[in-house]
Amino acid sequence: MKRLIIKIGSNILASAERGLNTKRLRAITKDIADVIDRGHEAVIVSSGAIAAGLKKLGLKEKPKDIKLKQAAAAIGQSSLMWAYEQHFADFGKKVAQVLLTRDDITNRRRYINAKNTLFTLLSFGVIPLINENDPVAVDEIKFGDNDMLAALAAGLVEADMLVILSDVEGLYSKNPKNKDAQLIRSVQKITPDIEKLAGGKSSAIGTGGMYSKLIAAGQANDHGIPVVIMSGKKSGLIARLLSGKEVGTYFHPRGQRMSSKKGWIAYGVRSKGAIYLDDGAVKALTEMGRSLLPSGMVKIEGEFEVGDYVRCLGKDGKKIAKGLTNYSSKDLNLIKGKKTSEIEKALGYKYSDEVIHRDNLVVV
């Protein structure tokens, strides 16, 4: 558990009326500085810019207007950074600001640039503080909320664990307002029943809520990264967790940790279309570690070019894999269901036997 990503939500750090909660921020920075002193690396994904900005703008609650939210984020981000910088300095730590949009993750070159910067910062012992670049992020280039940003950042820095600090102790068997609600200690797999426990409701100041935390946890788990959702309102919990004590709710990773390249294919890049597969091809991809050949394709959806990323779906539409296609959708329509020996005759050329090579494919 060397490299930790720690996601800190707005609810813990700030409120619209009072702005930043510096007492809590100090306690959290101390906790994180402590675990760094014990040999861990930390990357922080922190919200709180909008909430901090609202107070400075004299607004009592989070506005609906996107321009106001962006202005609040721009005003609040500097306060947020300044607060972290001052408190971490007291514990001998340096911080660096890294603002990202969804586009920075989707675009392979920017993704690699961000990764190189983050790794360089870590090599200097600096704590990268990531937030969404809210003033420029609208709609399709937005992560939506920082839980999802944290899951993608965990894949980006190949984190050993994602810790989500929340205003509740973890995932409960029912709404934690009920007296008999029980804290669930460990989740093997995020099933629809588990998702139901999260209720799907957003909290007032952040945009996340437990539901989005579960989606983010599931995504990090798919990268092979364990996730803990726990309280960010109590001190000393991160150190307790790292000493092996039960804290919050632990979400088990699925398989080995993916390389950041595979993580990017699976969750970073957006797909341009889909290829429906027969059962034999599904088995070849999921159980035998094979590449995708034309013979296993039954239907092509969408328009895409060579080098685009596409989803591979089962006949029922279930997502099986994602990968980089060696043929355009137009050509795939001409070779679907055919043997590899028939590609050249059908197209007049052959780029490769594989439609998607195994090295450029991730089973999800």
Q: Which residues bind ligand GLU (CB under 6 A)?
A: 9-10, 47-51, 73, 131-132, 134, 145-146, 206-208
Residue 65, both tokens = 């207007």
Of the pair 209, 253, the CB lying nearest ligand GLU is at 209
293 and 275 Cβ atoms separated by less than 8 Å? no
Q: How far is the CB of 131 from ligand GLU (least distance, A)?
A: 5
Determine how many CB atoms are found less than 10 A away from the CB of residue 2. Answer: 9
CA distance 292 to 323: 9
Q: How far is the CB of 217 from ligand GLU (least distance, A)?
A: 15
CA distance 104 to 268: 9
| CA distances in angstroms from 77 to 65, 132, 139, 191, listed in the order given | 18, 10, 20, 36
Of the pair 15, 360, the CB lying nearest ligand GLU is at 15
CA distance 255 to 310: 23
20 and 83 Cβ atoms separated by less than 8 Å? yes
Q: How far is the CB of 147 from ligand GLU (least distance, A)?
A: 7
66 and 72 Cβ atoms separated by less than 8 Å? no
Of the pair 106, 202, the CB lying nearest ligand GLU is at 202
Determine how many CB atoms are found less than 10 A away from the CB of residue 250. Answer: 21
Q: How far is the CB of 253 from ligand GLU (least distance, A)?
A: 23
Of the pair 131, 360, the CB lying nearest ligand GLU is at 131
Residue 84, both tokens = 């972290």
What backbone torsions phi and psi does residue 184 show, to the nearest 5 degrees?
A: -85, 125
Q: How far is the CB of 210 from ligand GLU (least distance, A)?
A: 13
Q: Please report, as a single letter, which amino acid is at residue 236.
A: G
130 and 47 Cβ atoms separated by less than 8 Å? no
Determine how many CB atoms are found less than 10 A away from the CB of residue 299. Answer: 15
Task: Find how far residue 352's CA is from the centre of its chain.
Answer: 33
Strand partners, 50: none
Of the pair 37, 61, the CB lying nearest ligand GLU is at 61
Of the pair 218, 294, the CB lying nearest ligand GLU is at 218
Q: How far is the CB of 132 from ligand GLU (least distance, A)?
A: 4
What backbone torsions phi and psi does residue 271 show, to the nearest 5 degrees?
A: -90, 150
Q: How far is the CB of 276 from ligand GLU (least distance, A)?
A: 35
Of the pair 62, 272, the CB lying nearest ligand GLU is at 62
Specify the DSSP element, H or E, that contains 162: strand 161-166
Of the pair 49, 237, the CB lying nearest ligand GLU is at 49
Q: How far is the CB of 228 from ligand GLU (least distance, A)?
A: 18
Q: How far is the CB of 7 from ligand GLU (least distance, A)?
A: 9
Of the pair 47, 221, the CB lying nearest ligand GLU is at 47
Q: What is the DSSP letter of 176?
A: T
